[in-house]
């Protein structure tokens, strides 16, 4: 255990010299008495999983688009996320299938939670989506996002969207850009 440097005594003020505990303020405060750190700021005290969960808990209440679609974040981890959405009547296009833009939004939201899971503000720099099968009224879509690559300020993430029968509905590849020095949530 490293030794601590000797502390210099503070000059006595009139109020402290009369106090029998004047020297007590020279002692360090035990760690347990410090205020706890915010749960949304990554630190050595939080595991990567706890950081990801804190980001989810901080982002979701402010993500009005994701909430408006009824998306639920089912799981999150460092560089990954899983979300689901039930296909409602107001999500159907003129062919009575789920609008592709809404399937894309589910994939994009899942991508957003995955790439922000390190609590570094990260935005999409682009994406590509391919629709493989239609989603229909009453289907429950599940999007699973995994990190493919993360280097410097850029990342690549793949999202697979399946229905409740496990049939692939869409695949999505997102490219991310991390803003230097800004947390995704908290300050």
Q: Cβ atoms within 10 A of the Cβ of 165, count?
A: 7
Number of domains in the chain: 1
In a domain, 125, yes or no: yes
In a domain, 184, yes or no: no
In a domain, 6, yes or no: no
In a domain, 52, yes or no: yes
In a domain, 155, yes or no: yes
User: pLDDT of 71-130, one tens digit each?
Assistant: 999 999 999 999 999 999 999 999 999 999 999 999 999 999 999 999 999 999 999 999
Q: What are phi and psi of 15, to 5 degrees?
A: -70, -40
pLDDT score for 186: 82
Residue 48 three-state SS: helix
The beta strands (E) that lie in the chain are given as 72-77, 80-86, 122-131, 140-151, 154-162, 168-178
In a domain, 18, yes or no: no
Separation between Cα atoms, residue 141 and residue 86, nearest integer Å: 6
R_g over Cα of the chain: 24
Question: What is the domain-level CATH number for residue 126?
Answer: 3.10.129.10
In a domain, 34, yes or no: no
Q: Among residues 144, 164, 145, which one has the least CA distance to residue 87?
A: 164
Range of the domain at 119: 48-178
pLDDT score for 44: 56
In a domain, 187, yes or no: no
Separation between Cα atoms, residue 181 and residue 162, nearest integer Å: 35
Q: Is the pLDDT of residue 11 over 60?
A: no
């Amino acid at each position: 255990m490293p030794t601590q440097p000797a502390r210099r005594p503070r000059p006595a003020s009139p109020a402290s010299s009369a106090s029998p505990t004047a020297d007590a303020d020279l002692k360090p405060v035990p760690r347990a008495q410090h205020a706890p750190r915010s749960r949304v700021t990554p630190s050595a005290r939080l595991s990567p999983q706890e950081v990801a969960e804190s980001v989810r808990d901080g982002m979701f209440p402010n993500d009005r688009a994701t909430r408006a679609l009824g998306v639920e974040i089912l799981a999150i981890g460092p560089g990954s996320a899983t979300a689901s959405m039930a296909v409602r009547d107001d999500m159907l296009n003129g062919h009575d299938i789920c609008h592709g833009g809404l399937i894309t939004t589910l994939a994009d939201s899942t991508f957003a939670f995955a790439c922000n899971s390190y609590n570094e503000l990260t935005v999409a720099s682009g994406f590509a989506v391919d629709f493989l099968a239609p989603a229909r009224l009453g289907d429950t879509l599940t999007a699973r996002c995994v990190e493919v690559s993360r280097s410097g300020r850029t990342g690549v993430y793949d999202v697979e969207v399946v229905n409740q029968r496990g049939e692939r509905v869409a695949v999505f590849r997102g490219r991310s850009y991390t803003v230097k020095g800004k947390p995704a949530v908290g300050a």
